[in-house]
């Protein structure tokens, strides 16, 4: 009888351990919803990457601009600026369209030097299950060439051409759009 009791106790303890779930922590290296990766190039010599001076990117309907320097305080205006030749812009996972205003020389006191162009991106979304810990990520597919509107101030454009390099946005390791200026 004692032997049966020991077997039942051992089975009970084993079931308790098998019923536990392992700690689910989403690793920082796990791919998440990718941003739209944009590269800026010289319009007269497309082989040359060209940084945009004091670029600010604002999505229509958002209360703040895209954060490029997250190490800075939220009250610091430089938090929302970059002078890089590559940027990543988030797309909305609940819609098929997002409109960004890209402003070149956004901190310049002279309004004739500041120039803002609106670009509309149309896309479809696809949710992909990653894991129990990480949940889902969303991939995007650009459905059209981006639409560009000139500045409402002086009707000019600083962007001369937009080329879709990779319409499927599944990773941030590749360039999706090239902008020539």
Quickly count: other Cβ atoms within 10 Å of residue 175's Cβ.
15
Domain positions in the chain: 31-180
Which of 6 and 128 is assigned the larger pLDDT? 128
Do residues 32 and 139 lie in contact, with contact meaning Cβ atoms separated by under 8 Å?
no
* Percent of the chain as helix, strand, coil, to the nearest 5: 10, 35, 55
Query: Cα dihedral sign for 127, 89, 92, 98?
Result: negative
DSSP 33-91: SPPEEEEEE-SSSTTSB-PPTTBEEEETT-SSPPPS-TTS-TT-GGGG-B--SEEEE--
Mean pLDDT value across residues 14-18: 57
pLDDT of amino acid 19: 54
Average pLDDT for the chain = 88
C-alpha to C-alpha distance for 144 and 164, rounded to whole angstroms = 9
Higher-pLDDT residue of 111 and 79 is 79
For residue 51, what are the contacts with CB-CB under 8 A and spacing of at least 6?
A: 40, 83, 84, 85
**pLDDT confidence of 3, banded at 50, 70, 90?**
low
pLDDT at 11 over 60: no
pLDDT digits (tens, 9 = 90+) for 146-165: 998 865 555 678 999 999 99
| Percent of the chain at pLDDT exceeding 90 | 67
Q: Which positions ≥6 away from 45 have C-beta within 8 Å? A: none
Q: Which two tokens stand for residue 162?
A: 């937009």
The pLDDT-based confidence of 143 (bands split at 50, 70, 90) is very high
Mean pLDDT of 22-42: 87
- For the residues 134-152, what does the mean pLDDT come to? 87
* DSSP tag of 22: P
> pLDDT for 50-109, tens place per residue?
999 999 999 999 999 999 999 999 999 999 999 999 999 999 999 899 999 999 999 999
**CA 91 and chain centroid, separation:** 6
Round to whole Å and give the CA distance between 45 and 147. Answer: 23
Confidence of residue 10 (pLDDT cuts 50, 70, 90): low
């Amino acid at each position: 009888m004692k032997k049966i009791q020991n077997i039942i106790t051992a089975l009970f303890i084993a079931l308790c351990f098998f019923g536990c779930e392992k700690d689910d922590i989403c690793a920082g290296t796990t791919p998440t919803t990718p941003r739209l990766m944009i590269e800026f190039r010289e319009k007269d010599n497309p082989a040359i990457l060209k940084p945009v001076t004091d670029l600010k990117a604002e999505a229509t309907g958002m209360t703040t601009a895209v954060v490029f320097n997250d190490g800075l305080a939220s009250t610091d205006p430089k938090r929302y600026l970059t002078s890089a030749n590559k940027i990543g812009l988030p797309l909305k996972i609940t819609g098929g369209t997002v409109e960004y205003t890209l402003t070149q020389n956004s901190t310049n006191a002279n309004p004739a030097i500041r120039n803002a162009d609106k670009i509309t991106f149309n896309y479809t979304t696809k949710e992909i299950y990653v894991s129990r810990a990480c949940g889902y990520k969303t991939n995007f597919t650009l459905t059209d060439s981006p639409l560009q509107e000139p500045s409402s101030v002086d009707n000019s454009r600083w962007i001369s051409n937009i080329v879709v390099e990779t319409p499927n946005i599944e990773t941030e390791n590749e360039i999706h759009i090239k902008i020539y200026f």
